[in-house]
Amino acid sequence: MEPEYAIIDHRSAWRADKVGKQDMTIELEDKHLYAFDRALQVVHTAGIDLYDITQEQFDLADINGVAKFSANR
């Protein structure tokens, strides 16, 4: 069975032509997963739609060095 793919047409979507071909593998630890869980809980509690989340609303300060990404590098 072939995997299904869907094109995500959103301003925050990562695109291969913007990201590049460099190795971008990051092994997440529990602290990373907890930080994502906390950030998701905050936006969920605030009633913010998934597609309306901004960087300021999605606080990942606990793992800032790992979670920060720039498509311009």
The reply to whether 7 falls in a domain is no
Q: How far is CA 35 from CA 16, 41, 50, 57, 71, in A?
A: 26, 10, 17, 13, 22
User: Could you tell me which residue, 4 or 58, shows the higher pLDDT?
Assistant: 58
The predicted pLDDT at position 20 comes to: 60
Q: Is the pLDDT of residue 41 over 80?
A: yes
The reply to whether 28 falls in a domain is yes
Query: What confidence tier does 73 reach under pLDDT thresholds 50, 70, 90?
Result: very low
Query: Do the Cβ atoms of 51 and 10 come closer than 8 Å?
Result: yes
Query: What confidence tier does 46 reach under pLDDT thresholds 50, 70, 90?
Result: very high
Considering the entire predicted model, what is its pTM?
0.53
The reply to whether 4 falls in a domain is no
The predicted pLDDT at position 9 comes to: 83
Counting the structural domains of the chain, the total is 1
Show the domain range for 40: 16-67
The reply to whether 33 falls in a domain is yes
